[in-house]
Amino acid sequence: MSGPALPKLTLAYYPGCSQTGTAAEYDRSSRACCAALGVELVDVPDWTCCGSTPAHTVDHFLAGALAARNLLQAELAGFDRVTTPCPSCLAALRTASHHLAEKAPAENGAPQDSGPNYRTEVERLLDRPAPLRASAVSVLQVLTEDVGLEAMTSAVTRPLTGLRVAPYYGCIMNRPPGLMQFDDPENPTAMDRVLTACGATVVDYPFKTECCGAAFGMPRLDIMQRLSARLLDMAASCGADAIVVACPLCQMNLDLRRGQVNAKAGTSHTMPVPYFTQLLGLALGLPESGLGLDKLVLPLGPALEAARAREDKRAALAQAELAARAARKNGAPANGNGPKENTPCA
């Protein structure tokens, strides 16, 4: 397999709490893809919960301390760069490192006496000096930037040709742009490019960054039902076979909670919700058992088979057309036309 060499890179890896439970397949497939693409992951030793959304809705310094503890653990293990698959963990870690790095408290003209100093307060809760250098990036960013699309494309052995996918990034992976500093906040394309490298057909999905309902599944199920239904309806109207995600919460709302969403909306959407790392793993030819496909509530299999069948049919028709054209050149009668290409979402 010729192409750019794979990097030999070692990063700290912060799984996040859901990776040990409801998002185990994301963890498994992320690790598998990274290993296959030259990225060695070393788990942050003795990692603990980053606090996610609940912590920062209670207190910003508590959230900072919980996140900073993990950055500190990474730093102590000798790593300045931490990667994590979960956007919420990513936001928590980046917010902490961002504010710890700040000297001046004022942003955009806010009063200079902006209250207590972030580092001081976080250190008070940690009872240790806060980390200085470590910061976090998403697994998606590592794959697109450190590994690179060229290397990824060269490593693909089983392209997912014919599979139409709606790339759904979730609300906080790329927002706010000043904090996340990765890809375009209105129309991100990193996952699109990874999926294209996998050979899939990416549909033009307008709700790439619309919120799915986040953690409201438990306290306000009605809100989550409404928001996730919107996402599914749009993916369906775009002609997607699958909606591809990069966030454990999005995945849970769209997959595990599919029954609840369909029930409220009166719909019967059956499209699967694989993690992008699962599709990437398949395209790289990695063993399926290592990608956690069996953990997807809505099975991926049927969509893959349907795509394969469609693709086979298209290929067969294209062959027939070529043969007919050649025959016509030699004087034999014509045979029929190939099918029209599917148009992306309008």
Partner 1 sequence: MQTPVQPLDLAQARDPDFQAAVARESGQALASCYQCGNCTAGCAYTPDYDFPVHQVMRLVQLGLKERALSCRSIWLCATCQACTTRCPNNIDVAKVMDVLRHMARRAGYAPERGVKTFTDGFLASVAKHGRIFEVGLAAAFAIKSGKPMQDAGLGLPMLTHGKLSFTPHEPEGNGKAEVAAIFARFDRVAADKSRAETVSSAKPADKTGGGK
Partner 2 sequence: MRIGVMVCHCGNNIAATVDVEAVAAAAREFPDVVFATDHMYACSDPGQGTIEQTIRSLKLDGVVVASCSPRMHEVTFRRAVERAGLNRYMFEMANIREHVAWISLDRKRNTEKATDLVRMAVEKLRHNRPLTAKSFEVQKRVLIIGAGVAGIQAALDCAEGGLDVILVERRQSIGGVMSKLDKTFPTVDCSVCVLGPKMVDVGQHPRITLHALSEVEELSGYVGNFEVKVRKKAPFVDWTKCTGCGACLEKCPSRKVPDSHNEGICTTTAITIPFPQAIPKRAAIDPTVCLHFTKGKCGVCKKVCPADAIDYDMQDEIITEKVGAVIAATGLDLFDHRKCGEYGGGRYPDVITSLQYERMLSASGPTAGHIKRPSDGAEPKTVVFIACVGSRDRSVDRPYCSNFCCMYTAKQAILTRDHIPDSRAYVFYMDIRATGKGYEEFVRRAQEEYEVQYIRGRVAQIHPTTGPDGNQLMVRGADTLLGVQVEIRADLVVLAVGAESAHGAPALAEKLRISYDAYGFFLESHPKLRPVETNTVGVFLAGACQAPKDIPASVAQASAAAGKVLALLSKDKLESDPQIAQVQTIRCIGCGKCERTCPFGAIRMRELRDGSKRAEVVETVCQGCGICSVTCPVRAIQLAHFTDSQLLAEVNALCRTWDETTES
Shortest spacing between CB 184 and partner 2, in angstroms: 6
Contact set for partner 2, span 234-253 (CB under 8 A):
237
Shortest spacing between CB 285 and partner 1, in angstroms: 24
Shortest spacing between CB 165 and partner 2, in angstroms: 18
Shortest spacing between CB 145 and partner 2, in angstroms: 20
- Shorter beta-carbon distance to partner 1: residue 151 or 212: 212
Q: Which does 65 bind (CB under 5 to 8 A by kind): partner 1, partner 2, none?
A: partner 1
Stretch that binds partner 2, among 37-45, 135-143, 182-190, 273-281 (CB under 8 A): 182-190
| Cα–Cα distance, 67 to 96 (Å, whole number) | 6
Stretch that binds partner 2, among 112-120, 199-207, 303-311, 313-321 (CB under 8 A): 199-207
Shortest spacing between CB 302 and partner 2, in angstroms: 26
Does 206 participate in binding partner 2 (rule CB under 8 A)?
yes
Total residues interacting with partner 2, rule: CB under 8 A: 11
Residue in 43, 80, 204, 233 binding partner 2, rule: CB under 8 A: 204
- Shorter beta-carbon distance to partner 1: residue 109 or 336: 109
Query: What strands lie across the sheet with 201-202, from one edge to the other?
Result: 201-202, 164-168, 242-245
Stretch that binds partner 2, among 3-11, 13-21, 85-93, 201-209 (CB under 8 A): 201-209
Does 222 participate in binding partner 2 (rule CB under 8 A)?
no
Residue in 102, 145, 186, 288 binding partner 2, rule: CB under 8 A: 186
By the criterion CB under 8 A, which residues form the site for partner 2? 108, 184-187, 204, 206-207, 237, 345-346
